[in-house]
């Protein structure tokens, strides 16, 4: 054998063996992966189902506020009582989630509003016939999203009431409703991962015991019985190894007797 061949053999023997992943971590990883996948799917379903529902509830609350405002403002609009109308609008604007409120008459003129200076971009510019219909729209006001609901006053004959709700308030309510549920789901996922580790440990423990027993047998230890308390395939494997150990021990004993007699 040449020196080059010996050098190659020495390098091959000195090369470290690839790092093995314990069966416990393989089983735990598989279980945890399934649990996380199911959890993520549940979170996605909850998010895409609950968010539209919560948004609808906010719209309904804004609609109810606009209806109450239109009913309360009807007499003031008809009577032309601007002072009482402004006081009514200011009272409804005290709610934190309200961005603005304004009332327009049948001609589309803004007769009362909750803003210091009424911005022109908020004016709907609707015709008298359009004011008879309820309207929901999303727009940008002062750099923020606003969800506006318009409700006709006396079926649009005298005007309409507009209520704008801050988008941040809507998103805040959605987060307040969803985050506790997401926290619960994350807790269940963590408990599932911990359970997966526990189950994987219970499965891998007897396998590691059988591995050590097989290594002992390969070193010539045939006196230590192999006992694993398991009623599944691992138990059957342990019984097979025990029978093999007993057979090898008996064969070695017969071989020893023959050598002694010879």
Q: Flag whether pLDDT at 14 surpasses 50.
A: no
Question: Do you know the residue count of the chain?
Answer: 262
- Average pLDDT of 23-44? 76
**What CATH number did the domain enclosing 175 receive?**
3.30.450.20
Q: Tell whether pTM > 0.75.
A: no
Model confidence at 172, in pLDDT bands (50, 70, 90)? Answer: confident
Q: Which tokens belong to 16? A: 């470290």
Kindly report the average pLDDT of the chain as a whole number: 79
Position with higher pLDDT, 262 vs 190: 190
| pLDDT value of position 100 | 92
Per-residue pLDDT, 103: 92
DSSP-based three-state secondary structure for 145: strand
What confidence tier does 170 reach under pLDDT thresholds 50, 70, 90? confident
Measure the CA angle with vertex 138, ends 133 and 142; round to 5°.
125
Note whether residue 257 is domain-resident: no
> Average of pLDDT values for 105-109?
85
Question: pLDDT digits over 52-104, tens only?
Answer: 777 787 778 888 989 999 999 999 988 889 899 999 999 999 988 899 999 98
Structural domain span for residue 199: 23-116+126-203
Residue 41 pLDDT exceeds 50: yes
Tokens of 222: 């045939």
Q: Based on the structure, what is the number of domains in the chain?
A: 1
CA distance 108 to 186: 52
174 in a structural domain: yes
Angle separating helix axes 82-92 and 23-79, nearest 10 degrees: 170
For residue 22, pLDDT beyond 80: no
For residues 121 and 139, give the distance between their C-alpha atoms in angstroms, rounded to a whole number.
9
Query: Is 184 inside any structural domain?
Result: yes
Does residue 58 lie in a domain region?
A: yes
Q: Does residue 93 lie in a domain region? A: yes
Say what the pLDDT of residue 125 is.
61
Q: Pairing mode, if any, of strands 110-113 and 159-166? A: unpaired
Q: Which of 195, 196, 178 is nearest to 42 (CA)?
A: 178
Closest by CA position to 218, among listed 239, 245, 243: 245
Residue at 196 is within a domain: yes
Q: Which residue has the higher pLDDT, 258 or 75?
A: 75
Question: From its phi and psi, is residue 155 left (phi > 0), alpha (psi between -120 and 50) or beta?
Answer: left
pLDDT range class, residue 18, cuts 50, 70, 90: low
Residue 132: pLDDT band with limits 50, 70, 90: confident
Answer yes or no: is 34 within a domain: yes
* Rounded alpha-carbon distances, angstroms, from residue 195 to 36, 199, 203: 13, 6, 12
Q: Are 62 and 149 in contact (CB under 8 A)?
A: yes
The answer to the question of residue 90 being in a domain is yes
For the cut 60, the answer to whether the pLDDT of residue 233 exceeds it is: yes
């Amino acid at each position: 054998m040449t020196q080059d061949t010996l050098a190659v053999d020495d390098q091959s023997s000195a090369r470290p063996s690839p790092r093995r992943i314990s069966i416990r971590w393989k089983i735990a990883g598989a279980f945890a992966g399934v649990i996380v996948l199911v959890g993520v799917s549940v979170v996605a379903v909850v998010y895409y189902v609950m968010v539209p529902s919560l948004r609808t509830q906010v719209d309904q609350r804004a609609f109810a506020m606009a209806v109450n405002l239109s009913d309360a403002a009807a007499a003031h609009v008809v009577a032309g009582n601007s002072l009482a109308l402004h006081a009514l609008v200011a009272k409804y604007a005290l709610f934190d989630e309200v961005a603005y409120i304004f009332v327009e008459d049948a001609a589309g003129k803004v007769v009362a509003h909750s803003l210091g200076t009424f911005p022109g971009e908020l004016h709907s510019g609707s015709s008298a016939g359009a004011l008879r219909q309820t309207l929901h729209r999303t727009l940008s006001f002062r750099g923020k999203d606003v969800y506006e609901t318009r409700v006709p006053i006396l079926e649009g004959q005298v005007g309409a009431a507009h209520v704008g709700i801050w988008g941040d308030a809507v998103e805040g309510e959605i987060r307040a409703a969803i985050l506790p549920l997401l926290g619960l789901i994350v807790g269940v996922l963590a408990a599932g991962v911990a359970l997966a580790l526990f189950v994987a440990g219970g499965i891998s423990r007897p396998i590691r015991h059988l591995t050590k027993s097989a290594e002992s047998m390969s070193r010539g230890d045939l006196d230590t019985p192999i006992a694993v308390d398991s009623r599944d395939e691992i138990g059957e494997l342990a019984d097979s190894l025990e029978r093999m150990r007993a057979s090898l021990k008996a064969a070695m004993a017969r071989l020893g007797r023959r050598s002694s007699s010879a």
